[in-house]
Amino acid sequence: MNTEGLSNSELQAAELVEQPVAADVAVEAPPLVEVPTPAPPMVVPSLDDSSLYIHRELSQLQFNIRVLEQALDESYPLLERLKFLLIFSSNLDEFFEIRVAGLKKQITFAREQAGADGLQPHQALARISELVHEQVNRQYAILNDTLLPALEKHQVRFIRRRFWNTKLKAWVRRYFRDEIAPIITPIGLDPTHPFPLLVNKSLNFIVELEGIDAFGRDSGLAIIPAPRLLPRIIKVPEDVGGPGDNYVFLSSMIHAHADDLFQGMKVKGCYQFRLTRNADLSVDTEDVEDLARALRGELFSRRYGDAVRLEVVDTCPAHLSGYLLKQFGLAESELYKVNGPVNLTRLFSITGLDSHPELQYTPFTPVIPKLLQNSDNIFSVISKQDILLLHPFESFTPVVDLLRQAAKDPHVLAIKQTLYRSGANSEIVDALVEAARNGKEVTAVIELRARFDEESNLQLASRLQAAGAVVIYGVVGFKTHAKMMLILRRESGEIVRYAHLGTGNYHAGNAKLYTDYSLLTADVALGEDVAKMFSQLIGMGKTLRMKKLLHAPFTLKKTLLDMITRETQLASEGKPAHIMAKFNSLTDPKIIRALYKASQTGVRIDLVVRGMCCLRPGIAGVSHNIQVRSIIGRFLEHTRVFYFLNEGDEKIYLSSADWMERNLDKRVETGFPVEGKKLILRVKKELEAYLTDNTQSWVLQPDGRYLRSSPTGNQNPRSAQAGLLDKLTAPLVSAR
């Protein structure tokens, strides 16, 4: 019997017909009309089944791959495409410094722990190596075969050595002699000159030599560390390189004149390489008396952590790359051979060329709501109604102005603020310093452990302390990630609280690049809650009950789970149920299991997750009602928005927290409600814009892959970021 193309139930029926029948068994004649055999019941896996979860590091790597894809998107200006390619490099550096280093550390100390996905660290590392090798090769192919030729058509050239003419060679020789050679210190390798300790991510060269030096040494090898103060790309004067923007790589100059550094020796080969080290700080907050002092000590050691990756130019011979691997204690799988400069992030310096504005995004001016444009007293505006801003489409200036006015206002008594990433010399810090000098009671809760901003935050703390502000370093064991500002002002004999709550950092630069919400409010209950939050951070005592504010690690996760459970219950009763949420990462197993249960019950769940997502959508019987999108575009998506239909009484929260264990269990975070029909409708529509994006959205598949959306049929192209840019920066919209 031909069974090709039959369904499972039809195959089972066919197998039954073809079974040999014993003589003593009566077989009923089949009915004249075939009755379909019901499909067997679906086997639904346990919600603890590891196959339902994606490994967090592999998911993070998928996000970085989506970033790299933008370099091929011809709808972006050319220099912006180059920028995406360089962001891929920068993200990958941090991925190795933190994520890969963490996995290697587990293996080194025999503390391998599998997450909900069941993947052991050594298994994850093998998959990471395979993926990264593939994508790095692809990155350099995009650079060499697509972006650099396209830039050359616009007279932006990186002149390789084989194309140097006589005039350029002479100029390079002079530049090398005058600017490079005096600073470089080559290190010959012999028993008295062991292999040097190289700084994390520094550019270096391994040189193979032939001959005997003045002291009779003939080790045959040397290292040239390239000083960090030297530019990695050097612009060639127009009278030498010709019209346009012409550049030469520092590495090319050193390759061309390595002989000059080893007089009397023959240079057989000179090859660039770069070492990436573990850059995660390991301060045991339980065992230190002074966190600031301990961090200062750790910041130096970050430059010399354990090796995690070696990049070498692809022309480097195997015996030399093998020698380097042995020096750093790395395996062959941790070697990355690249067709070009090993330190691509230094190319960021040319992505903002003044000579080529047409190759960059069209500038725009963030809008200030009309209510605030013509007001000399921002307090009077906020006292009448909440102000909600969506950056970068709407300006961050009102947040800075609020603090500036508070610093000067004789009625303001005190200012309290959390600072995570703000920069020591920002306008926000200037205003706090002014306020302290003007006699205001200024208290700053500074999170010293904000990764890669530790040094800046130490400087910030010193500056504020010098101005007379009280500086607190948060809570031991819990990073303070909440974004809060509280201003106490005396009005008509009473103290009135004004608050700012945000999803992003107090960093004016980031506010131009990241999408984030800011709420300016004089709501009495919210103001009291923010005051209680600061009391918990600064003083000591039991958890204080909040009226409106959700706060981690106490009520935020519990409330989220309760709201998911409520939608699940409503769906089980046959009522409409809907969850929409947007955040950066989803890794918390308890949250994921709750979402799976909600999906099984019939809750429609729409998630916009920029980066890591450990949930697998679209699995029959488990997550078939869940869709996950990732938006990659001009701005870094950073807003955290949580929506629950709640039987028609819609609830929307904005938050500083992602749905991750670290945020919900081990950090100080806030979640604050959006109130009033007008603001609720606004945020809901802005969230829905991301769910209907069909040009910059990537849809997560059950197997962990992401597929890019594109308009189908008669659909018009829709970009959430472009739509918000058009809408919120239009002149008429500023009247909102």
Q: Where are the alpha helices (DSSP H) in 249-336?
A: 250-256, 291-302, 318-328
Instruction: Please state the φ and ψ torsions of residue 299, each to the nearest 5 degrees.
Output: -60, -35
- Section 621-644 average pLDDT: 97
Q: Residue 42 pLDDT > 80, yes or no? A: no
- Section 112-135 average pLDDT: 93
The three-class DSSP label of residue 636 is: strand
- Taking the CA atoms of residue 440, residue 445, residue 450 and residue 455 in that order, the dihedral angle to the nearest 10 degrees is 50
More confident residue, 83 or 508: 83
Q: Residue 292 pLDDT > 80, yes or no? A: no
Which whole-number Å values give the CA distances from 659 to 510, 552, 583, 593, in the listed order?
22, 11, 7, 12
Distance CA 274, CA 198 (A): 9
Q: Residue 5 pLDDT > 70, yes or no? A: no
Distance CA 182, CA 229 (A): 13
Res 27: pLDDT: 33
The three-class DSSP label of residue 546 is: coil
Residue for token pair 């030297």 = 230
Q: Is 194 exposed, middle or buried (0-12, 13-18, 19+ CB in 10 A)?
A: exposed
Which domains are delineated in the chain? 78-359 (3.30.1840.10), 370-546 (3.30.870.10), 551-735 (3.30.870.10)
- Taking the CA atoms of residue 672, residue 675, residue 681 and residue 683 in that order, the dihedral angle to the nearest 10 degrees is -20
The tens digit of pLDDT for each residue in 56-86 reads: 999 999 999 999 999 999 999 999 999 999 9
- Section 368-387 average pLDDT: 91
Whether pTM exceeds 0.85: yes
User: Average pLDDT of the chain?
Assistant: 88
Res 521: pLDDT: 98
The tens digit of pLDDT for each residue in 415-450 reads: 999 998 776 678 999 999 999 999 999 999 987 665
Q: How confident is the model at residue 215 (pLDDT cuts 50, 70, 90)?
A: low
Percent of the chain with pLDDT over 90: 73
Res 3: pLDDT: 38
Distance CA 578, CA 97 (A): 39
Q: Residue 30 pLDDT > 50, yes or no? A: no
Structure-token pair, residue 7: 């369904």
Residue for token pair 């409503």 = 570
β-strand 479-480 against 604-609: which pairing, if any? Answer: unpaired
Q: What is the DSSP string of 222-271?
A: EEEEPPTTS-SEEEPPHHHH-SSEEEEEHHHHHHHTGGGGSTTSEEEEEE
Distance CA 456, CA 447 (A): 11
Residue 669: name the closest of 527, 589, 549, 516 by CA. Answer: 549
Q: Which of 481, 500, 507, 638 is catalytic?
A: 481
The three-class DSSP label of residue 63 is: helix
Q: Is 573 exposed, middle or buried (0-12, 13-18, 19+ CB in 10 A)?
A: exposed
Angle at CA of residue 173, ends 171 and 174, nearest 5°:
65
Residue ranges of E strands in 162-232: 187-188, 203-210, 221-225
Q: How confident is the model at residue 127 (pLDDT cuts 50, 70, 90)?
A: very high
Distance CA 499, CA 726 (A): 29
Whether 481 is catalytic is yes
Q: Residue 724 pLDDT > 90, yes or no? A: yes
Res 264: pLDDT: 80
The tens digit of pLDDT for each residue in 650-672 reads: 999 999 999 999 999 999 999 99
Q: How confident is the model at residue 164 (pLDDT cuts 50, 70, 90)?
A: very high
Res 696: pLDDT: 96
Q: Residue 240 pLDDT > 60, yes or no? A: yes
The three-class DSSP label of residue 164 is: coil
Q: How confident is the model at residue 509 (pLDDT cuts 50, 70, 90)?
A: confident
Distance CA 561, CA 577 (A): 15
Res 282: pLDDT: 55
Task: With residue 672 as reference, give the H or E element that holds it.
Answer: strand 667-673
Q: Residue 584 pLDDT > 80, yes or no? A: yes
Structure-token pair, residue 382: 């906020």
Percent of the chain with pLDDT over 70: 87
Say if residue 553 is preceded by a cis peptide, omega within 30 of 0. yes
